């Protein structure tokens, strides 16, 4: 069977049988299209060990029009997509390269960017004001830090989903996994103040604000904000607060996890709160929060120095 047809069937399989998100399907489409465009093979039998080795060299040496190369983790995403595609082909009893023969490259240690508590406080203070937009933006920032939500999870929240009395609610994360999210008293207060000022009836928890948006609402257009809007909001207040780091919504998720571990939370609990399927993913936070190593360094390093 033609590889392009198989790719289409595989993407449909991800959507229907695997219930993957639209973003994941788009990424797999991109990674596999890059492989097929480069490989110039039309049948599964044409995918060989040597072809894959050459492709990995191509990814490692690849640079775009601006001279930017692919990070090791991005190269691995391409290889993971190809490997899973080969598994799909093999399950259909079509002869091709065994997925087990495709090994992943060594991953670089991830660099975690997070805010110190003093920076978090400055960020909250920068989002002051009592007008509807300021109240919305403050509620967004407070909720991101309080809950560790991904930006995609935050923008998909509805008003009736968040229980402000109990300070907890359920959210569906990556891979359709449901977890319980907890919010602080400060985030609860910020959300209450924001919701009180809402003039529209849109179900979205976080909505666009302004007369032109209310006019759009009358034309059956929803007011739900986008992930890009949240990115702009966080960046704006970080600059206003004088924070020199490159701050994104995910930085607040990292800050949430780092704060928990620094204050003694166990890694399994943090894994649950972040919605990670594997504790290995959560362990990246222990690299930057290991107080014991810091104490050992302080106690034993440089003692004989004059």
Q: Is 92 a catalytic residue?
A: no
Phi, psi of 238 (to 5 degrees): -65, -45
Specify whether 188 is catalytic.
no
Q: Is 254 a catalytic residue?
A: no
Which of 159, 174, 193, 213 does the annotation list as catalytic?
Answer: 174
Q: Closest by alpha carbon to 131, among 193, 77, 178, 191? A: 193
**Residue holding tokens 């599964």?**
44
Q: What are the angstrom distances between the C-alpha of 14 and each of 10, 27, 94?
A: 6, 12, 19
Residue closest to 169 by CA, chosen among 178, 294, 191: 178
Given 83, 138, 150, 188, the catalytic residue: 150
Catalytic residue among 7, 78, 136, 276: 276
**Which one of 13, 58, 122, 250 is the catalytic residue?**
250
Is the separation of the CB atoms in 102 and 52 below 8 Å? yes
Give Cα 111 to chain centroid, integer Å: 14
* Active site (annotated) includes residue 172: no
Closest among 131, 113, 116 to 241, alpha carbons compared? 116
Catalytic residue among 78, 138, 253, 254: 253
Q: Which residues contact 213 (CB under 8 A, 6 or more apart)?
A: 207, 223
* Marked catalytic residue, from 10, 31, 237, 285: 285
Q: In this structure, is the dihedral angle defined by the CA atoms of residues 33, 39, 44 and 47, taken in order, positive or negative?
A: negative
Q: Is 253 annotated in the active site?
A: yes
Q: Is residue 250 annotated as part of the catalytic site, yes or no?
A: yes
Q: Which residues are catalytic, by number?
A: 150, 174, 250, 253, 276, 285
């Amino acid at each position: 069977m033609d590889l392009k047809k198989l790719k289409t069937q595989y993407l449909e399989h991800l959507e229907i049988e695997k219930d993957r998100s639209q973003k994941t399907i788009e990424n797999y489409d991109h990674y596999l299209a890059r492989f097929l465009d480069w490989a110039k093979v039309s049948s599964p039998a044409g995918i060989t060990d040597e072809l894959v080795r050459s492709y990995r060299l191509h990814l490692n040496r690849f640079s775009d029009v601006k001279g930017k190369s692919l990070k090791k983790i991005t190269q691995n995403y391409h290889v993971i997509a190809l490997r899973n595609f080969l598994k799909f082909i093999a399950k259909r009893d079509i002869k091709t390269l065994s997925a087990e023969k495709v090994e992943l490259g060594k991953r670089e240690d991830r660099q975690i960017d997070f805010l110190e508590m003093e920076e978090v406080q400055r960020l909250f203070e920068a989002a002051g004001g009592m007008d509807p937009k300021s109240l919305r933006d403050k509620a967004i920032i407070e909720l991101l830090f309080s809950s560790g939500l991904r930006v995609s999870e935050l923008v998909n929240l509805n008003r009736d989903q968040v229980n402000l009395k109990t300070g907890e609610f359920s959210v569906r994360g990556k891979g359709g996994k449901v977890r319980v999210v907890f919010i602080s008293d400060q985030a609860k207060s910020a959300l209450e103040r924001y919701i009180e000022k809402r003039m529209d009836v849109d179900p979205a928890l976080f909505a666009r604000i302004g007369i032109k948006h209310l006019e759009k609402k009358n034309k059956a257009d929803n007011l739900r904000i986008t992930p890009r809007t949240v990115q702009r909001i966080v960046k704006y207040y970080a600059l206003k607060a004088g924070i020199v780091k490159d701050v994104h919504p995910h930085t607040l998720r990292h800050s949430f996890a780092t704060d928990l571990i620094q204050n003694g939370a166990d890694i399994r609990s943090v894994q649950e709160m972040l919605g990670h399927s594997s504790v290995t993913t959560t362990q990246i936070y222990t690299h930057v929060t290991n107080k014991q190593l810091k104490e050992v360094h302080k106690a034993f390093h440089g003692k004989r120095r004059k």
